[in-house]
Amino acid sequence: MGRRKALLIGINYFGSQHQLAGCIDDVRNMQEFLMSRTYSNHPKDMVVLTDDSDPRGPYFPSAHNIIAAMRWLVSEPETMYYLHYSGHGGQVADQDRYRSSGFDDTIVPVDFEVNGQIPSSVLHRTLVSAMHPSSTLFILFDCCHSGSAVELPYVYRTDEDGNVNLMDNLKQGAELFGEASHLIRGDTAFDEVGEARHLLAGATSFFRSLKHQYDGDYREGLQEDGDLDAWAQEGKSVFMFSGCKDEQTSADAFINGRHVGAMSWAFLETMKLDYNWNISYVQILQNTRDLLQQRYSQIPQLSCGYRFDLNSPFRI
Protein backbone atom coordinates (compact mmCIF):
# COMPACT_ATOMS: atom_id res chain seq x y z
CA MET A 1 0.00 0.00 0.00
CA GLY A 2 2.99 2.34 0.16
CA ARG A 3 3.24 5.20 2.66
CA ARG A 4 0.29 5.65 5.03
CA LYS A 5 -0.46 8.51 7.39
CA ALA A 6 -3.33 9.08 9.83
CA LEU A 7 -4.74 12.07 11.67
CA LEU A 8 -7.26 11.36 14.45
CA ILE A 9 -9.12 14.20 16.17
CA GLY A 10 -11.40 13.69 19.19
CA ILE A 11 -12.86 16.58 21.20
CA ASN A 12 -15.00 16.18 24.33
CA TYR A 13 -15.04 19.94 25.17
CA PHE A 14 -14.33 19.26 28.83
CA GLY A 15 -15.84 21.70 31.33
CA SER A 16 -17.97 23.52 28.78
CA GLN A 17 -21.72 23.61 28.33
CA HIS A 18 -21.12 21.84 25.00
CA GLN A 19 -19.38 18.81 26.57
CA LEU A 20 -19.56 15.46 24.79
CA ALA A 21 -18.72 12.06 26.22
CA GLY A 22 -17.54 9.67 23.50
CA CYS A 23 -15.28 11.54 21.09
CA ILE A 24 -11.91 10.74 22.65
CA ASP A 25 -12.96 7.10 22.99
CA ASP A 26 -13.83 7.16 19.28
CA VAL A 27 -10.28 8.22 18.50
CA ARG A 28 -8.76 5.55 20.74
CA ASN A 29 -10.97 2.89 19.16
CA MET A 30 -10.05 4.09 15.67
CA GLN A 31 -6.37 4.12 16.56
CA GLU A 32 -6.64 0.51 17.73
CA PHE A 33 -8.43 -0.45 14.52
CA LEU A 34 -5.83 1.21 12.29
CA MET A 35 -2.98 -0.45 14.15
CA SER A 36 -4.71 -3.79 13.62
CA ARG A 37 -4.51 -2.93 9.90
CA THR A 38 -0.74 -2.42 10.26
CA TYR A 39 -0.78 1.37 10.55
CA SER A 40 2.14 2.67 12.57
CA ASN A 41 1.41 4.83 15.61
CA HIS A 42 4.81 6.54 15.38
CA PRO A 43 4.36 10.35 15.41
CA LYS A 44 5.77 10.60 11.89
CA ASP A 45 2.93 8.35 10.70
CA MET A 46 0.02 9.03 13.07
CA VAL A 47 -0.97 12.25 14.83
CA VAL A 48 -3.66 12.20 17.52
CA LEU A 49 -5.29 15.43 18.74
CA THR A 50 -7.48 15.23 21.86
CA ASP A 51 -8.48 17.76 24.47
CA ASP A 52 -7.19 15.65 27.36
CA SER A 53 -3.66 16.55 26.17
CA ASP A 54 -1.52 19.52 27.21
CA PRO A 55 -3.40 22.72 26.24
CA ARG A 56 -0.06 24.35 25.41
CA GLY A 57 1.17 21.47 23.27
CA PRO A 58 0.84 20.63 19.56
CA TYR A 59 -1.64 17.78 20.17
CA PHE A 60 -4.37 19.96 21.70
CA PRO A 61 -7.22 20.29 19.12
CA SER A 62 -7.22 24.06 18.78
CA ALA A 63 -8.11 25.59 15.41
CA HIS A 64 -4.43 26.37 14.74
CA ASN A 65 -3.27 22.85 15.60
CA ILE A 66 -6.05 21.18 13.59
CA ILE A 67 -5.18 23.13 10.43
CA ALA A 68 -1.46 22.51 10.96
CA ALA A 69 -2.07 18.78 11.41
CA MET A 70 -4.23 18.64 8.30
CA ARG A 71 -1.47 20.29 6.29
CA TRP A 72 0.97 17.71 7.66
CA LEU A 73 -1.40 14.89 6.72
CA VAL A 74 -1.69 15.75 3.01
CA SER A 75 1.88 16.92 2.48
CA GLU A 76 3.35 13.87 0.71
CA PRO A 77 2.82 12.27 -2.73
CA GLU A 78 1.89 8.62 -3.33
CA THR A 79 0.46 8.29 0.18
CA MET A 80 -2.76 6.97 1.69
CA TYR A 81 -4.10 9.60 4.09
CA TYR A 82 -6.66 8.73 6.77
CA LEU A 83 -8.56 11.41 8.71
CA HIS A 84 -11.02 10.78 11.52
CA TYR A 85 -12.87 13.59 13.30
CA SER A 86 -15.22 13.09 16.23
CA GLY A 87 -16.62 16.20 17.87
CA HIS A 88 -19.16 18.91 17.30
CA GLY A 89 -20.18 19.89 13.81
CA GLY A 90 -21.94 23.15 13.21
CA GLN A 91 -23.19 25.64 10.68
CA VAL A 92 -22.29 29.30 10.32
CA ALA A 93 -23.65 32.02 8.08
CA ASP A 94 -22.28 31.65 4.55
CA GLN A 95 -20.37 34.89 4.11
CA ASP A 96 -19.68 34.20 0.42
CA ARG A 97 -23.36 33.51 -0.30
CA TYR A 98 -22.53 30.29 -2.15
CA ARG A 99 -25.26 28.23 -0.46
CA SER A 100 -28.97 28.73 -1.02
CA SER A 101 -29.51 27.61 2.59
CA GLY A 102 -27.43 30.56 3.78
CA PHE A 103 -25.26 28.32 5.98
CA ASP A 104 -21.84 26.70 5.69
CA ASP A 105 -21.01 23.37 7.40
CA THR A 106 -18.20 23.46 9.94
CA ILE A 107 -16.17 21.44 12.39
CA VAL A 108 -15.73 22.90 15.86
CA PRO A 109 -12.25 23.13 17.43
CA VAL A 110 -11.94 23.18 21.20
CA ASP A 111 -11.20 26.93 21.19
CA PHE A 112 -14.06 27.86 18.86
CA GLU A 113 -15.47 30.43 21.26
CA VAL A 114 -12.27 32.46 20.80
CA ASN A 115 -11.02 31.50 17.32
CA GLY A 116 -14.20 30.44 15.57
CA GLN A 117 -15.25 27.30 13.72
CA ILE A 118 -13.56 25.83 10.64
CA PRO A 119 -15.89 26.06 7.61
CA SER A 120 -16.15 23.59 4.74
CA SER A 121 -14.44 25.92 2.27
CA VAL A 122 -11.32 26.03 4.47
CA LEU A 123 -11.44 22.25 4.94
CA HIS A 124 -11.63 21.71 1.18
CA ARG A 125 -8.72 24.03 0.39
CA THR A 126 -6.59 22.60 3.21
CA LEU A 127 -7.29 18.92 2.56
CA VAL A 128 -8.46 18.39 -1.02
CA SER A 129 -7.00 21.22 -3.08
CA ALA A 130 -3.64 20.93 -1.32
CA MET A 131 -3.23 17.15 -1.58
CA HIS A 132 -0.99 15.64 -4.23
CA PRO A 133 -2.99 14.07 -7.10
CA SER A 134 -1.05 10.81 -6.71
CA SER A 135 -2.34 10.33 -3.15
CA THR A 136 -5.67 9.18 -1.73
CA LEU A 137 -7.57 10.68 1.21
CA PHE A 138 -10.14 8.78 3.26
CA ILE A 139 -12.21 10.77 5.78
CA LEU A 140 -14.66 9.73 8.50
CA PHE A 141 -16.56 12.66 10.05
CA ASP A 142 -18.68 11.76 13.08
CA CYS A 143 -20.36 15.06 13.80
CA CYS A 144 -23.56 17.00 13.18
CA HIS A 145 -24.23 18.76 9.86
CA SER A 146 -21.38 16.86 8.21
CA GLY A 147 -22.85 15.95 4.84
CA SER A 148 -21.04 18.66 2.87
CA ALA A 149 -18.24 19.31 5.32
CA VAL A 150 -15.51 18.95 2.67
CA GLU A 151 -17.51 20.10 -0.39
CA LEU A 152 -17.16 17.01 -2.60
CA PRO A 153 -19.13 16.77 -5.87
CA TYR A 154 -20.62 13.25 -5.69
CA VAL A 155 -22.81 12.13 -2.80
CA TYR A 156 -24.21 8.61 -2.27
CA ARG A 157 -27.03 7.90 0.19
CA THR A 158 -29.14 4.89 1.09
CA ASP A 159 -32.91 4.94 1.21
CA GLU A 160 -35.08 3.11 3.73
CA ASP A 161 -34.75 -0.11 1.72
CA GLY A 162 -30.96 0.08 1.59
CA ASN A 163 -30.80 1.13 -2.05
CA VAL A 164 -27.94 3.50 -2.81
CA ASN A 165 -28.73 6.69 -4.72
CA LEU A 166 -26.30 9.14 -6.27
CA MET A 167 -26.76 12.87 -5.89
CA ASP A 168 -24.59 14.15 -8.75
CA ASN A 169 -23.89 17.72 -7.63
CA LEU A 170 -22.00 18.57 -10.81
CA LYS A 171 -24.84 17.49 -13.10
CA GLN A 172 -27.56 19.15 -11.06
CA GLY A 173 -25.53 22.31 -10.65
CA ALA A 174 -24.81 22.48 -14.38
CA GLU A 175 -28.50 22.08 -15.21
CA LEU A 176 -29.46 24.91 -12.87
CA PHE A 177 -26.60 26.99 -14.21
CA GLY A 178 -27.86 26.48 -17.77
CA GLU A 179 -31.40 27.52 -16.86
CA ALA A 180 -30.14 30.65 -15.12
CA SER A 181 -27.89 31.53 -18.07
CA HIS A 182 -30.85 31.30 -20.46
CA LEU A 183 -32.90 33.69 -18.36
CA ILE A 184 -30.07 36.15 -17.83
CA ARG A 185 -29.05 36.35 -21.49
CA GLY A 186 -32.60 36.85 -22.78
CA ASP A 187 -34.85 39.85 -22.61
CA THR A 188 -35.89 39.23 -19.06
CA ALA A 189 -38.29 41.08 -16.87
CA PHE A 190 -37.45 41.87 -13.26
CA ASP A 191 -39.18 38.76 -11.90
CA GLU A 192 -37.24 36.55 -14.35
CA VAL A 193 -33.96 38.06 -13.17
CA GLY A 194 -35.10 37.21 -9.66
CA GLU A 195 -35.78 33.65 -10.81
CA ALA A 196 -32.31 33.51 -12.37
CA ARG A 197 -30.82 34.68 -9.09
CA HIS A 198 -32.63 31.84 -7.32
CA LEU A 199 -31.38 29.29 -9.87
CA LEU A 200 -27.82 30.53 -9.52
CA ALA A 201 -28.05 30.20 -5.75
CA GLY A 202 -29.26 26.64 -6.23
CA ALA A 203 -26.45 25.84 -8.62
CA THR A 204 -23.77 27.12 -6.30
CA SER A 205 -25.24 25.26 -3.35
CA PHE A 206 -24.51 22.03 -5.28
CA PHE A 207 -21.04 23.02 -6.40
CA ARG A 208 -19.22 26.32 -6.55
CA SER A 209 -20.05 26.78 -10.17
CA LEU A 210 -19.26 30.44 -10.70
CA LYS A 211 -16.10 32.24 -9.68
CA HIS A 212 -17.56 35.72 -9.63
CA GLN A 213 -19.76 37.18 -6.91
CA TYR A 214 -23.36 38.12 -7.56
CA ASP A 215 -23.26 41.78 -6.52
CA GLY A 216 -24.18 43.94 -9.51
CA ASP A 217 -25.54 43.14 -12.95
CA TYR A 218 -26.23 39.45 -13.47
CA ARG A 219 -26.08 39.97 -17.23
CA GLU A 220 -22.38 40.85 -17.08
CA GLY A 221 -19.51 38.43 -16.68
CA LEU A 222 -21.55 35.27 -16.87
CA GLN A 223 -19.49 32.83 -18.93
CA GLU A 224 -19.97 29.31 -20.24
CA ASP A 225 -18.17 26.27 -18.83
CA GLY A 226 -14.88 28.16 -18.74
CA ASP A 227 -16.17 29.97 -15.67
CA LEU A 228 -16.92 26.80 -13.74
CA ASP A 229 -15.11 26.68 -10.44
CA ALA A 230 -11.88 24.69 -10.39
CA TRP A 231 -13.13 22.62 -7.43
CA ALA A 232 -15.57 20.87 -9.72
CA GLN A 233 -12.68 19.84 -11.99
CA GLU A 234 -10.19 18.59 -9.38
CA GLY A 235 -11.14 14.90 -9.55
CA LYS A 236 -9.05 14.09 -6.49
CA SER A 237 -9.13 10.62 -4.96
CA VAL A 238 -11.07 11.59 -1.84
CA PHE A 239 -13.71 9.51 -0.05
CA MET A 240 -15.65 10.70 2.98
CA PHE A 241 -18.13 8.82 5.13
CA SER A 242 -20.20 11.27 7.17
CA GLY A 243 -22.51 10.45 10.04
CA CYS A 244 -25.49 12.39 8.72
CA LYS A 245 -26.86 14.75 6.10
CA ASP A 246 -26.25 18.51 6.29
CA GLU A 247 -29.50 19.21 8.07
CA GLN A 248 -29.19 16.37 10.60
CA THR A 249 -27.46 15.86 13.92
CA SER A 250 -25.16 12.97 14.77
CA ALA A 251 -25.65 11.15 18.06
CA ASP A 252 -23.26 11.07 21.00
CA ALA A 253 -24.32 7.59 22.07
CA PHE A 254 -24.04 5.14 24.98
CA ILE A 255 -23.71 1.64 23.51
CA ASN A 256 -22.67 -1.57 25.28
CA GLY A 257 -21.71 0.35 28.39
CA ARG A 258 -19.48 2.88 26.60
CA HIS A 259 -19.81 6.44 25.36
CA VAL A 260 -19.16 6.52 21.61
CA GLY A 261 -20.10 8.48 18.52
CA ALA A 262 -22.86 6.58 16.76
CA MET A 263 -21.25 6.76 13.31
CA SER A 264 -17.79 5.78 14.60
CA TRP A 265 -19.36 2.81 16.37
CA ALA A 266 -21.32 1.73 13.28
CA PHE A 267 -18.25 1.99 11.06
CA LEU A 268 -16.05 -0.07 13.39
CA GLU A 269 -18.80 -2.66 13.88
CA THR A 270 -19.02 -2.98 10.11
CA MET A 271 -15.27 -3.33 9.73
CA LYS A 272 -15.29 -6.27 12.14
CA LEU A 273 -16.90 -8.20 9.27
CA ASP A 274 -13.98 -7.47 6.94
CA TYR A 275 -11.19 -9.97 7.42
CA ASN A 276 -9.45 -9.98 4.03
CA TRP A 277 -10.03 -6.49 2.62
CA ASN A 278 -13.10 -7.76 0.78
CA ILE A 279 -15.77 -5.37 2.05
CA SER A 280 -16.91 -2.78 -0.48
CA TYR A 281 -17.82 0.88 -0.14
CA VAL A 282 -21.48 0.16 -0.80
CA GLN A 283 -21.50 -2.54 1.89
CA ILE A 284 -20.05 -0.11 4.42
CA LEU A 285 -22.68 2.48 3.51
CA GLN A 286 -25.52 -0.03 3.76
CA ASN A 287 -24.27 -1.71 6.94
CA THR A 288 -23.73 1.55 8.81
CA ARG A 289 -27.19 2.66 7.72
CA ASP A 290 -28.72 -0.61 8.98
CA LEU A 291 -26.98 -0.32 12.34
CA LEU A 292 -27.84 3.33 12.85
CA GLN A 293 -31.50 3.13 11.86
CA GLN A 294 -32.09 0.61 14.65
CA ARG A 295 -31.57 3.43 17.15
CA TYR A 296 -31.19 6.78 15.38
CA SER A 297 -32.71 8.87 12.58
CA GLN A 298 -29.39 10.07 11.12
CA ILE A 299 -28.56 8.89 7.59
CA PRO A 300 -24.88 8.26 6.81
CA GLN A 301 -23.59 9.14 3.38
CA LEU A 302 -20.52 8.75 1.21
CA SER A 303 -19.08 11.72 -0.66
CA CYS A 304 -16.41 11.38 -3.36
CA GLY A 305 -14.13 13.52 -5.45
CA TYR A 306 -15.02 11.61 -8.62
CA ARG A 307 -17.52 8.99 -9.76
CA PHE A 308 -16.37 5.45 -9.10
CA ASP A 309 -17.63 1.92 -8.65
CA LEU A 310 -19.06 1.56 -5.14
CA ASN A 311 -18.54 -2.19 -5.37
CA SER A 312 -14.79 -1.63 -5.28
CA PRO A 313 -13.13 -3.13 -2.19
CA PHE A 314 -12.48 -0.66 0.61
CA ARG A 315 -8.79 0.15 1.03
CA ILE A 316 -7.14 2.41 3.57
Active-site residue list: 88, 144
DSSP per residue, the chain: --EEEEEEEE---TTSTT--SSHHHHHHHHHHHHHHTT---STTTEEEEETTS-TTSTTS--HHHHHHHHHHHT-SSSEEEEEEEES-EEEEE-TT---TTSEEEEE--TTHHHH--EEHHHHIIIIIITS-TTSEEEEEEESTT-TTTT--SEEEEE-TTS-EEEEEHHHHHHHHHHHHHHHHHS---HHHHHHHHHHHHHHHHHS---SS--SS-TTSS--SGGGS-GGGG---EEEEEESS-TT----EEEETTEEEEHHHHHHHHHHTT-SSS--BHHHHHHHHHHHHHTT-----EEEESS---TTSBP--
